[in-house]
Amino acid sequence: MSEQGVTVGHLLLAEYQTVKDEQKTRIGFRDNLLYVTLAVVAAVIAAAAQAKEPAMLLALPPVCVVLGWTYLVNDEKISAIGLYVRDELGPRLAQAAASGTDFSTFGWESFHRRDARRRSRKAIQCVVDLVAFCAVPLAALVVFWVSGDGGGLMLGLSLVEALAVCGLGVQVVLYTRPAGPALTPA
């Protein structure tokens, strides 16, 4: 190939840059979803308290489920990109380099995962996610139920919302997995 031609190595590096850019964008978006959730929760609680209308709290569960699911999907894609770089792209680039030595590409992708406190941070993050996206809307539902201000339709709606929040909670726990190969359904 000529000096100006595109090599496999160049293509792999371009792919690496592209997926890392996507990962960086998703990280920023994911992290901002927690702040958005906190702002929405504060606004709804303040409005419900000011209006003395507990039924307004029924807005929290669907908002928290949508924001929580979006957070979870982005978090999974961030992890999937890291796994792809570590297990697919890195080895292909090392092979293309054909250095004849034990050459490892993108060492940071594996190195940072070996931190002794990683498991505890992941567990704490799982608790934070459960509180932000599940415990808060469930608490809002309890306040609504205790107030006794709902008719049959509102009570039915609140029960559906409770099921949706619990479903999200199950998914948050399921997506919290230790380092290792991706768990992809067949």
pLDDT tens digit string along 127-141? 999 999 999 999 999
**Residue 2 above 50 pLDDT?**
no
Model confidence band, residue 103 (pLDDT cutoffs 50, 70, 90)? low
User: For tokens 């993050």, what's the residue?
Assistant: 125
Of the listed ranges 2-6, 54-58, 61-65, the least confidently predicted one is 2-6
The pTM score is: 0.82
Model confidence band, residue 100 (pLDDT cutoffs 50, 70, 90)? low
**C-alpha dihedral, 171 to 175 to 177 to 183, nearest 10°:** 110
User: For tokens 């569960």, what's the residue?
Assistant: 61
